Structure 1
Amino acid sequence: MQEMREIIINYNIEIIIGMAVAFFVLLILYIVEQFRMNRITEKYNALVKDVDGVNLEQLILETLKEVDEIKLDCDKLEKQYLELDSRLRFSIQRVGVVRYNAFADLGSELSYSIALLDDELNGLILTSIYGRENSTSYTKPIVKGKSKYALSVEEMQAIDRAIRRE
């Protein structure tokens, strides 16, 4: 401890000068950093205020809130889309029509077969046979593109057209 005191007494002027130099260096660094901070603060203030005086930060927060609302709307729309898509799978999506003359003595192709199928090839075939004295209409169920009932050539053509979406 005594040695320390002697060093301080012997070199007190040098120590004071060294501390003063360190103080002035730190003071200069502090002043430089203050100028930098002021410039950054001015730039920040210019950034968050536009010409009309609207606060950019508030504008960003409002925009983010609107984006969240839009996301919720998109989620609702996606749920509705999926529900409609699942319903549409069972609606008529494929139609095939064949017109023909059921009898050789008749013209104008007044008889027809219409296949009405959903996306899974389920549905029915509607056939109307036109004759001079009478006309007959009937349907046959279609499951996976096939019927458990015998199909005429025209009915098979109508199903084929529906499957190929012609």
Structure 2
Amino acid sequence: MFNVDMQVAAMALAGIGGLLLLILLVYIAFLHWKIKKLETKYTFFMQDETGTSVEAKLRDDVDKLHNLQGTLDLIHQTQKDIMAVQNHCFRKIGFVKYNAFDNIGNNLSFAFTVLDGKNDGFCLSSVYG
């Protein structure tokens, strides 16, 4: 009698194990279906209006930014070169008319000043009287 109960118990355990495996197989199939559905949504979401991947577009944008960085460095270097040349050019110009003496009217005397970026230059003055 003890043998019969062991066989029934073994059969019951095998049935429960088989049922558990069947449930797990159904669950795996359900999870596979959900993953496929998410992959479809992800693929649709990761494309722009032209159908190209957003990742590829981001990669292109990053490449363009690196190229812009090189261009920006070139612009800064050119600006430094221009400032170096501009320091030797006349940048500050001043002209003042004035009365050198009280008895002469109409501001006939003047001073004309031209300076470069280092404040080097000349001053031309004329006094009428």
TM-score (norm. length: structure 1): 0.55
**Counterpart for residue 59 of structure 1:** 57
How is 1:124-163 mapped onto 2 (pairs within 5 angstroms)? 124-130=122-128
1 CA distance for matches of 2:26 and 2:120? 87
- Superposed CA deviations along residues 10-40 of structure 1, whole A, max 9, x for unmatched, are 8422432342233133223312221221122
Aligned-pair CA distance for 1:99: 0.9
2 CA distance for matches of 1:84 and 1:109? 39
Which protein is richer in helix relative to its size?
2
**Counterpart for residue 12 of structure 1:** 10
Structure 1 residues 14 and 65, CA gap change in structure 2 (3 angstroms): same
**Counterpart for residue 45 of structure 1:** 43
- Superposed CA deviations along residues 20-78 of structure 1, whole A, max 9, x for unmatched, are 23313322331222122112211122134445444444333333322222222112112
Aligned residues: 124
Aligned-pair CA distance for 1:89: 4.5
Work out the percentage of aligned pairs sharing the same amino acid: 19
**Counterpart for residue 68 of structure 2:** 70
2 CA distance for matches of 1:119 and 1:21? 92
Bigger RCO of structures 1 and 2 (CA < 8 A, at least 6 apart):
1
**Counterpart for residue 30 of structure 2:** 32
Moved over 6 A (4+): none
**Counterpart for residue 82 of structure 2:** 84
Structure 1 residues 121 and 45, CA gap change in structure 2 (3 angstroms): same
Structure 1 residues 98 and 38, CA gap change in structure 2 (3 angstroms): same
2 CA distance for matches of 1:64 and 1:19? 55
Aligned-pair CA distance for 1:125: 2.2
For 2:69, give the aligned amino acid. K
1 CA distance for matches of 2:115 and 2:27? 83
Q: Which runs of 5+ in 2 are unaligned?
A: 1-5
Q: CA RMSD in A?
A: 3.2
